[in-house]
Amino acid sequence: MSGELRFTGRLWVLSREGDLVDDIDTDMIYHNNYLAVTDRKEMARYALGNLQGYEDFAERAQEGDMVLAGENFGSGSSRQHAVDCFLALGVRAIVARSFGAIYKRNAINSALPVVEAPEIPADLFEHLEEVDLDLETGEISAGDRSHYASPMSGVALEIYQAGGLFQYAATL
């Protein structure tokens, strides 16, 4: 799955009251009660388990799904579990209006694509609708609807295509 620059998957639109959920912190993504879990496959069970309205995400998510959220996704601590739980589920990418800086860096280093879409309308795509995402252009589309997000940077794309920061560094 890693390395593709264009793919299709269901989009989890994390919204409340007509807008995308902002400030989803790492404790909502992966609760600190489970920090002792070191097996990535087991981490998958707890993804978004502390986000009100999405506690069943880990049970319902399918490999290839993507997530759309509001501003400041992944704020808070530097816990790697908040990236690893999505990778363990096979989540293809996270699209958000903005990301917490540490979360964004952890995701890129772990080959989880993160795409910033600061102006994306909350109602452009339906929850669990199948969308196409192009990491090089930043285009997110479904049918005749599309939005151009900020494409991933060249280095971030190279890290992603290599399978992560360590694999990328081995090629230098």
Q: How confident is the model at residue 77 (pLDDT cuts 50, 70, 90)?
A: confident
Please determine, for residue 1, whether its predicted confidence score (pLDDT) is greater than 70: no
Q: How confident is the model at residue 2 (pLDDT cuts 50, 70, 90)?
A: low
Its pTM stands at 0.95
Structure tokens at 22: 């902002």
pLDDT in the model for residue 120? 97
φ, ψ dihedrals at 72, nearest 5°: 65, 40
pLDDT tens digits, 104-153: 999 999 999 999 999 999 999 999 999 999 999 999 999 999 999 999 99
CB 101 within 8 A of CB 121: no
* Longest Cα separation, the chain: 47
Query: How do the domains of the chain map onto residue ranges?
Result: 6-170
φ, ψ dihedrals at 8, nearest 5°: -125, 140
pLDDT in the model for residue 128? 97
Q: Which residues pair with 20 in a beta bridge?
A: 15
- Would you identify the CATH topology of the domain 6-170? Aconitase; domain 4 (3.20.19)
pLDDT tens digits, 17-33: 999 999 999 999 999 99
